[in-house]
Structure 1
């Protein structure tokens, strides 16, 4: 009789361990990997995904099964110890102590530890049996859920908070793995950069009009050709009169195709016939939308205008890609970053440098919500156009103004500010 009780208790503890491990594995299983396995035809992964899709049902079924077997095991243990030691407090104390230790070690800690170390493989194994339990106990689970929801409403507990969006979940996973060292800095910036595109506008990533390499359409043809060939760019805006009056875009390949047949007599070059029509886009266009337009139109170059139609800058497909992969340089690029690290750990920055580029280069976290460039950030925070030699501390960084040209801050030295205690 005692042996029968002991065997039954062992079986019930094993069932409890199965339920506990199953809960941990199914909760911690990677949805991305399960989705990939299901796409490859794995039926077990499909069952896992079905369970995860209705998490409340499978957790309810597991908790129901776990509590039933644990309570039954405790009853059998009490009966067994009573038959051994008779009625009284000793039997109850021994039954409680022994079952607490057995359940805690063999039915909770051990199976959950095993499951959390290999959640995907364990989830694939237990998905079938748990699916049967969920279907069998579905009516009981629904009744329990009705009671739980009713009690929660009575005590004034509102609806559950909205779950994280897919983007927030992905971003959180990337940040977590980066903090743990599983993702290096470069890959972290690339992955986060792809997610950040939807939060940027063309104004945030464009080349400012002051840094656009333009050509005067009224130049002599030979001079125009020489300037075009000496430029590191293949697409050049041409203006006539004022620089705001862009009449077309000159492509280096179009220029060569037109110039070669002339046999050196470039005075006959018909410039207007090879100019491409400029494409103007508003500065408020989301970068993600602009990327889609580049891909749809098969173009890599657009001029940026403000609400009044004034030229503000230009944007290329490369500018957008650099927001994801970082700076792209080829053998013709002039690699002037405008960011020059100093021996003391500070950085000399040209005023036109975008804050995002400075953050990428240094690993800092300067805000770019209110200003696009470093000079813009200094002016925004200082609420004035500072003079050379002035110093400001904000957002945990010290900004020493180095140069100013008219109303423009053209050079700043930036460093991490000393803690407040040290300053005092």
Structure 2
């Protein structure tokens, strides 16, 4: 048997440790690679990404070829380490034990932990690269890998652990998709992330959450004097207005002002003209999700709907623009809206209207007012107190100090909100807190 020099043996041992590290890193790279990024690159024509996806689609063969060569290399390194130890120190037990410990240290540091850490941090970049040698090794060792997997499959069958074969794209839940969008960082602009996150929330938001409350609806009362109706139409900020007569619950239709303008140019203005031009009102239940309502608008070719409760009583009005603004934020510039200018003052307080939507206040002021009950600030205060308060009363809801400034017509008209204190900080003083 030929004798090899010690330097050649040591060089071979180092090379075996390097190969062991390469296989360990490859295993981590393939398991940690983002399959969605690989699919994107494969769709763009990247051969390495396509090979990586093919290997990941056959996990048993992928792990088989990696572990086959990794274990061969490790066993060869252990054998060579024993040969070197015997060559240097003879067959002394302490020497063999020390050699085993030393080799274990080198394998852990240089062939396992370090390569795997590198592979985990650069998996997406390295996966298409390592897929080339892995595909070649799988071809040349296909029979050995197949033979080993026969025993693996038999053992799994005995244990009744049937591996799940991945077919096509892995399914993701809404919450998983939301997490991916939120963690996308610099890959998706902040505005685009906001739109996508809002899109995921559409199923959880009802039309009652975003509608214009009944008391804030701009409408036309046919029982009013014609001069008053004319003035109302001339100063309206909207192109479509609900029309009722005597009772605000009795909506007879929706008036499109452009149609009215064309009619007036050809004939005289009057109540009967308005009656002829109104279209049939479209009613929707209050608990309809705005995603479903968006589909209803599309299917029924509508842009406006009247919201009713379970008893058929009118609650408010919702438009297509209201839903779009839930996705992309406020964009309407023709209607003056003081809610868009809500912001904390220098003294840490802000004066708001009692009809303000709670979701809008939470979004604009960073509050955590409860949304599972009333939808407006007025409704939240009345529910909390179980009474109609007088001006000057202060309460705290969800850590937010609230001062009732003005009440009128059994409603809280004006409210002053105070910025909630940071955790551990002293809360701002409010007069007469209840």
TM value normalised by structure 2: 0.80
Match of 1:333? 335
Give the alignment partner of residue 376 of structure 2, picking from 373, 377, 380. 373
Deviation at 1:209, TM superposition (A): 0.9
Match of 1:34? 38
SS in 1 for 2:129: helix
Indicate yes or no: 2:253 matched with 1:251.
no
- The CA deviation string for residues 87-145 of structure 1, in whole angstroms up to 9 with x for no partner, is 22453355345434543443334433443443222111223444576794356457457
Give the alignment partner of residue 83 of structure 1, picking from 87, 94, 97. 87
Deviation at 1:228, TM superposition (A): 2.2
Change (3 A) 1:31 1:219: farther
Change (3 A) 1:88 1:355: farther
Indicate yes or no: 2:294 matched with 1:283.
no
Match of 2:421? 417
Tell me, in whole angstroms, the C-alpha distance in 2 between the residues paired with 1:145 and 1:380.
Answer: 63
SS in 1 for 2:355: coil
Give the alignment partner of residue 237 of structure 1, picking from 221, 235, 242. 242
Tell me, in whole angstroms, the C-alpha distance in 2 between the residues paired with 1:134 and 1:277.
Answer: 69
Deviation at 1:202, TM superposition (A): 1.0
Deviation at 1:212, TM superposition (A): 0.7
SS in 2 for 1:337: helix
Tell me, in whole angstroms, the C-alpha distance in 2 between the residues paired with 1:316 and 1:345.
Answer: 34
Deviation at 1:214, TM superposition (A): 0.4
Deviation at 1:22, TM superposition (A): 2.3
- Correspondence 1:11-410 to 2 at 5 A: 11-52=15-56, 58=62, 62=66, 65-92=69-96, 94-96=98-100, 98-130=102-134, 136=142, 137=145, 140-141=148-149, 143-144=151-152, 165-176=172-183, 186-219=191-224, 223-262=228-267, 265-267=268-270, 270-330=273-333, 332-337=334-339, 339-381=342-384, 385-410=388-413
Tell me, in whole angstroms, the C-alpha distance in 1 between the residues paired with 2:38 and 2:257.
Answer: 50
SS in 2 for 1:15: helix
Is the Cα contact below 8 Å between 2:369 and 2:397 reproduced in 1? no
Deviation at 1:223, TM superposition (A): 4.9
Deviation at 1:369, TM superposition (A): 2.7
Match of 2:166? none
Tell me, in whole angstroms, the C-alpha distance in 2 between the residues paired with 1:240 and 1:114.
Answer: 75
Greater CA drift, 39-48 or 307-316: 39-48
Deviation at 1:230, TM superposition (A): 1.5
- The CA deviation string for residues 325-376 of structure 1, in whole angstroms up to 9 with x for no partner, is 111222x221220735222223333222222211221233444233423333
Greater CA drift, 185-194 or 252-261: 185-194
| RMSD value, Cα | 3.5
Tell me, in whole angstroms, the C-alpha distance in 1 between the residues paired with 2:150 and 2:233.
Answer: 74
Change (3 A) 1:20 1:337: same
Tell me, in whole angstroms, the C-alpha distance in 1 between the residues paired with 2:136 and 2:229.
Answer: 78
Match of 2:432? none
Change (3 A) 1:268 1:212: closer
Tell me, in whole angstroms, the C-alpha distance in 2 between the residues paired with 1:60 and 1:403.
Answer: 75
Deviation at 1:55, TM superposition (A): 5.8
Is the Cα contact below 8 Å between 2:220 and 2:241 reproduced in 1? yes
Structure 2: which 5+ residue stretches go unaligned?
Answer: 162-169, 428-434
Deviation at 1:199, TM superposition (A): 0.9
TM value normalised by structure 1: 0.81
Is the Cα contact below 8 Å between 1:202 and 1:315 reproduced in 2? yes
Tell me, in whole angstroms, the C-alpha distance in 1 between the residues paired with 2:234 and 2:61.
Answer: 69
Tell me, in whole angstroms, the C-alpha distance in 1 between the residues paired with 2:125 and 2:299.
Answer: 42
Tell me, in whole angstroms, the C-alpha distance in 2 between the residues paired with 1:138 and 1:150.
Answer: 18
Structure 1: which 5+ residue stretches go unaligned?
Answer: 154-162
Change (3 A) 1:122 1:266: same
Is the Cα contact below 8 Å between 2:214 and 2:315 reproduced in 1? yes
Match of 1:156? none
SS in 1 for 2:248: coil
SS in 2 for 1:341: coil
Greater CA drift, 200-209 or 383-392: 383-392
Is the Cα contact below 8 Å between 2:207 and 2:286 reproduced in 1? yes
